Amino acid sequence: MRISSGLALQEAAPHAQRVGHDPDPTRAREALRREAADRTDWNPPGTCEGADRVLVALPQAEIEQTLQAIAPALAGGTLAMDTAELKAQVMAWARQHLPPATPFVGGPAIPWPDAREKPTADLFQDALFCLTPPAASPAWAAEAAAGLAQRVDARPLCMDPFEHDGWMAALKQLPALPGAALLTMWSAALAWREPPQAIGGRFARITADLPDAPNARLAAAANRQSLLYGPDRLMETLEGLRGALASAEGEAGLEKLFRAAAQTRSDWPKPRREGWGGPSVPIDGAGPPETPPGLHRLRPARKR
């Protein structure tokens, strides 16, 4: 998503300078090669000096240390944002470590489920761009964050950080648990040597999108209360399914369950395709003149 952000912003803000940082020199060179950044800087604070907009696009586990590192380089009037999976914890870190004059708005984007995995400039087209501006932040910060979303053709939606994290527990973290459980179950089976030879597309899809272990553990711990609700309801549903399978008269219950699930799966994209979740903050209100926002830092390009 980091390279996609740079590519999208190249089209949305062609006259702004995008300066990026990545501790991995290979990824930094790749961003330059793909023209996802105009230049890179090896030092995070140096990357942010004089910035109008800063976007922290890192895994959850790396956010707090990064905010501590860049805080001295952020000036009043700089808008800081992030794209981490969970928001309540990140917003607390921002309040703790960033200067009071630097507004911070959480801003993860949720692309369409069929979005291409390879970096592309149109990844955010019609994506839902969740924004979590604190109540105390200035109005222009929320407006600028919404403007960023619209510049990359996404749909901004303001929401409470805890509400957002509840969504992530249900829609992103919980689906990873059955996949991990299936792999754990089958790998412990005595006959595991045979099933891998017969793995098909359905099993592969269910088990493909597993987060790496350290970040999965940290995200689960940070979102424990929201996440606990999901397994409880899932186990209740599976218990009902097990009862239907065990009963000789359970065929009607099985058909009802699969019919209801198929109808839900067919219906859920409709509100989003019909335009649900439009801007929930004004984007034309008064505020300081804006330089278009960017990947990690944007400022007007120098005249040659």
pLDDT of residue 181: 86
Which tens digits make up the pLDDT trace of 240-250? 888 888 887 77
Residue 290 is predicted with a pLDDT of 35
- Which of 125, 121, 122, 146 lies closest to 36, judged by CA? 121
Which of the two residues, 193 and 146, has the higher pLDDT score? 146
Question: Which strands form 128-131's sheet, in the order they lie side by side?
Answer: 109-110, 128-131, 155-158
Mean pLDDT for 217-239 is 87
Confidence bin at 278 (pLDDT 50/70/90): very low
Taking 50 as the threshold, does the pLDDT of residue 298 lie above it? no
Residue 65 has pLDDT above 70, yes or no: yes
Question: Under DSSP, is residue 56 helix (H, G, I), strand (E, B) or coil?
Answer: strand
Query: Is the per-residue pLDDT at 209 higher than 70?
Result: yes
Query: What residues form DSSP beta bridges with 297?
Result: 19, 54
Is the predicted pLDDT of residue 54 greater than 90, yes or no? Answer: yes
What percentage of the chain reaches a pLDDT higher than 70?
83
Residue type present at position 227:
L
The DSSP 8-state label assigned to residue 112 in this structure reads -
Highest-scoring range by mean pLDDT, 5-14, 35-44, 95-104: 95-104
DSSP string of 239-299? HHHHHHHHSTT-HHHHHHHHHHHHHHHHHTTHHHHTT-S---S-SSSS-SPPPPP-SSEEE
- Which is higher by pLDDT, 299 or 201? 201
Contacts of residue 304, Cβ cutoff 8 Å, sequence gap at least 6: none
List, in sequence order, every residue forming a beta bridge with 234; answer none if it has no partner: none
Average pLDDT for residues 80-91, to the nearest whole number? 92
